[in-house]
């Protein structure tokens, strides 16, 4: 079976089985024995033709008042190797900019989805969680690689009272956790690695390693040693899993990762490796619980430098609520995926933009030197100092606008008929907020494809900026990630000047890959020491 055939089969399997079953139980008994074989064959062919014509090529009838992209458009994009950014530029943005409502329909993980980008519509969806609750991310792909990792009982998946009880434990942990000193120490380790590798390094790889160590140590006190050793056991294992999570075809076509997994033996091995990683998390959680129950406190004196797992268990002990081991593990997996991949991509994109625009790099460096001084030695910023980095913060915000690592927010379901930008959206519709479209629409931003940190010198663009979502479900790790970026970028600016190596394709084209998190692919940079 070809790859394209298997993709299509993944979509057709359940509806066709249902049609065949109905035909077998309701129609065949009334046929003569001689005509049964012909009847079954005819039914399958006719049902297939009808289903493909009316479901694959077109959205549901109640959404056909909106422009749409069909399944084969998505498959064609996949076959061409387009990243989510590439597809946004080639297909979505021209349509969004041409329509007042900015709406269109496209098949996604939960079926046909209405993509929304106008800020007022986005705000309405994010604030009206009763009207637009999150779709079941797990439905239909419970045993896919990514879902097994992040689709458990955690704060991004659950809702209602269950969600509120978890936030009661997790919110205080994130408020108390701000390991600025740890971020600085990891950046110093990064400097040592750059020195060993030479002046030209793979930034994409280094940022992945650096943020993996950050989330490991700040998340649950586990040292991957990724910065020092890219081939360490757990680093290699997690990186293999990360590559698997980013594989577009398994995200868009979940059947390939489940009922058709036998077609992909390498993918099956990844599932086995994920089981090993999850077992390791179970061991870490149990060990941490035992240590704290026996009165062994953290050897870190400053509470805000303790790992999140310790802080969450301590919240339980204070009576703020309790999480089961399964809930703790599921949230740690979420912190990994959201805190590692996204921050790694954001840092890589920031380094790219600062190389692309040397004048902006110099201006950001001047601010870092003004705040931290220009002594020829590594300075670890304090929490108070990073709050003063206004221009570096603008660079980060513009990076997250023009190359936000998460192009789309989780799908929601309209529980009642509603109006978005004057357009009727029927009850039961899957609605998806397109961060990429919002961030690149010329109806929202002046000259949206120009990298311009000054657009964030005031709050002018705040309503159209949503890399961390919004409303009550705003990303819980937003400040954690932003502070990690502030520390690393400011320290890099003081230590180095950087530029593209000679002949780099990134000088003319930004090459990206990944889903649902997008990152620059193979970004290399030449660093020149200042001291």
Mean pLDDT of 44-72: 73
β-bridge partners, 116: 433
User: Model confidence over 417-456: pLDDT tens digits?
Assistant: 999 999 999 999 999 999 999 999 999 999 999 999 999 9
Most confident range, picked from 47-61, 65-79, 167-181, 428-442: 428-442
> Is the bond preceding residue 516 a cis peptide, omega within 30 degrees?
yes
More confident: 247 or 205: 205
Strand, coil or helix: 8:
helix
Cα–Cα distance measured from residue 133 to residue 315, given in angstroms and rounded to the nearest whole number: 28
Query: Per the structure block, which two tokens stand in for 297?
Result: 């406190």
The response to whether 333 counts as a known ligand-binding position is no
pLDDT at 41: 52
Mean pLDDT in residue range 141-147: 89
Q: Which domains does the chain have, with CATH numbers?
A: 145-529 (1.10.630.10)
Tokens standing for residue 141: 């792909």
Res. 325: pLDDT tops 90: yes
Lowest mean pLDDT among 12-16, 230-234, 434-438: 12-16
Q: pLDDT by residue (tens digit) across 208-217?
A: 999 999 999 9
Q: Which of 351, 267, 343, 345 is nearest to 85 (CA)?
A: 345
| Residue 519 CB neighbours (<10 A) | 25
Q: Which of 187-191, 232-236, 423-427 has the lowest mean pLDDT?
A: 232-236
Q: Exposed, middle or buried, 51 (CB in 10 Å: 0-12/13-18/19+)?
A: middle
CA torsion sign for 152, 154, 349, 523 is negative
Exposure b/e, 55-74, CB count within 10 A at least 16 = b: beeebeeebeebebbbbbeb
pLDDT of residue 30: 53
Distance CA 79, CA 5 (A): 12
Longest dimension (CA), the chain: 93
Query: Per residue in 255-276, pLDDT tens?
Result: 899 999 999 999 999 999 999 9
Number of neighbours of residue 195 by Cβ within 10 angstroms: 11
pLDDT value at 522 more than 80: yes
Q: Is residue 8 over pLDDT 70?
A: no
What is the average per-residue pLDDT within 157-170? 88
Examine the pLDDT at 406 and tell me if it is beyond 60.
yes
- Report the pLDDT value the prediction gives residue 301, as an integer from 0 to 100: 56
Task: Give the rounded percent of residues in the chain with a pLDDT score beyond 70.
Answer: 87
79 or 162, which is more confident = 162
Beta carbons within 10 angstroms of residue 352's beta carbon: 22
What are the E-state strand segments in 153-196? none
294 burial level (CB within 10 Å; 0-12, 13-18, 19+):
exposed
């Amino acid at each position: 079976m070809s790859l394209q055939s298997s993709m299509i089969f993944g979509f057709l399997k359940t509806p066709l089985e249902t049609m065949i079953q109905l035909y077998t139980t309701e129609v065949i008994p009334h046929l003569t024995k001689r005509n049964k074989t012909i009847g079954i064959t005819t039914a399958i062919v006719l049902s297939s033709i009808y289903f493909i014509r009316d479901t694959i090529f077109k959205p549901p009838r109640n959404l056909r008042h909106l422009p749409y992209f069909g399944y084969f458009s998505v498959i064609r994009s996949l076959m061409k190797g387009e990243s989510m950014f590439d597809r946004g530029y080639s297909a979505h943005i021209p349509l969004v900019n041409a329509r007042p409502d900015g709406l269109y329909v496209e098949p996604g993980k939960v079926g046909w989805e209405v993509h929304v980008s106008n800020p007022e519509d986005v705000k309405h969806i994010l604030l009206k969680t009763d009207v637009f609750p999150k779709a079941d991310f797990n439905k239909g792909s419970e045993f896919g690689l990514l879902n097994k990792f992040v689709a458990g009982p955690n704060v991004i998946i659950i809702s209602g009272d269950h969600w509120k009880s978890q936030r009661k434990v997790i919110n205080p942990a994130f408020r108390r956790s701000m390991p600025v000193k740890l971020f600085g120490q990891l950046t110093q380790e990064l400097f040592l690695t750059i020195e060993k590798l030479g002046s030209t390094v793979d930034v994409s790889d280094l940022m992945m390693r650096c943020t993996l160590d950050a989330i490991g140590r700040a998340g649950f006190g586990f040292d991957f040693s990724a910065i020092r050793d890219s081939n360490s056991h757990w680093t290699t294992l997690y990186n293999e899993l990360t590559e698997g999570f980013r594989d577009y075809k398994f995200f868009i076509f979940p059947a390939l990762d489940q009922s058709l997994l036998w077609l992909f033996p390498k993918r099956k091995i990844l599932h086995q490796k994920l089981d090993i990683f999850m077992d390791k998390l179970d061991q870490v959680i149990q060990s941490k619980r035992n240590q704290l129950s026996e009165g062994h406190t953290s050897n870190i004196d400053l509470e805000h430098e303790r790992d999140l797992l310790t802080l969450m268990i301590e919240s339980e002990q204070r009576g703020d609520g309790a999480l089961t081991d399964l809930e703790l593990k599921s949230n740690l997996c979420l912190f990994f995926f959201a805190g590692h991949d996204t921050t790694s991509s954001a840092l890589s994109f920031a380094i790219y933009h600062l190389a692309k625009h040397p004048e902006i790099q110099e201006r950001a460096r001047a601010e870092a030197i003004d705040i931290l001084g220009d002594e020829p030695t590594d300075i670890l910023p304090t929490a108070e100092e990073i709050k003063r980095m206004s221009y570096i913060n603008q660079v980060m915000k513009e990076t997250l606008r023009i190359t936000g690592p998460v192009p789309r927010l989780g799908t929601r379901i309209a529980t009642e008929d509603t109006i978005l930008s004057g357009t009727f959206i029927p009850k039961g519709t899957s609605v998806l907020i397109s961060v990429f479209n919002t961030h690149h629409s010329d109806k929202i931003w002046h000259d949206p494809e120009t990298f311009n940190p000054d657009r964030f010198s005031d709050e002018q663009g705040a309503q159209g900026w949503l890399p961390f979502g919004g409303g009550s479900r705003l990303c819980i790790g937003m400040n954690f990630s932003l502070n990690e970026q502030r520390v690393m970028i400011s320290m890099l600016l003081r230590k180095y000047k950087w530029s593209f190596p000679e002949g780099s394709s990134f000088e003319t084209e930004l090459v990206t890959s990944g889903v649902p998190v997008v990152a620059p692919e193979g970004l290399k940079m030449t660093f020149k020491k200042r001291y």
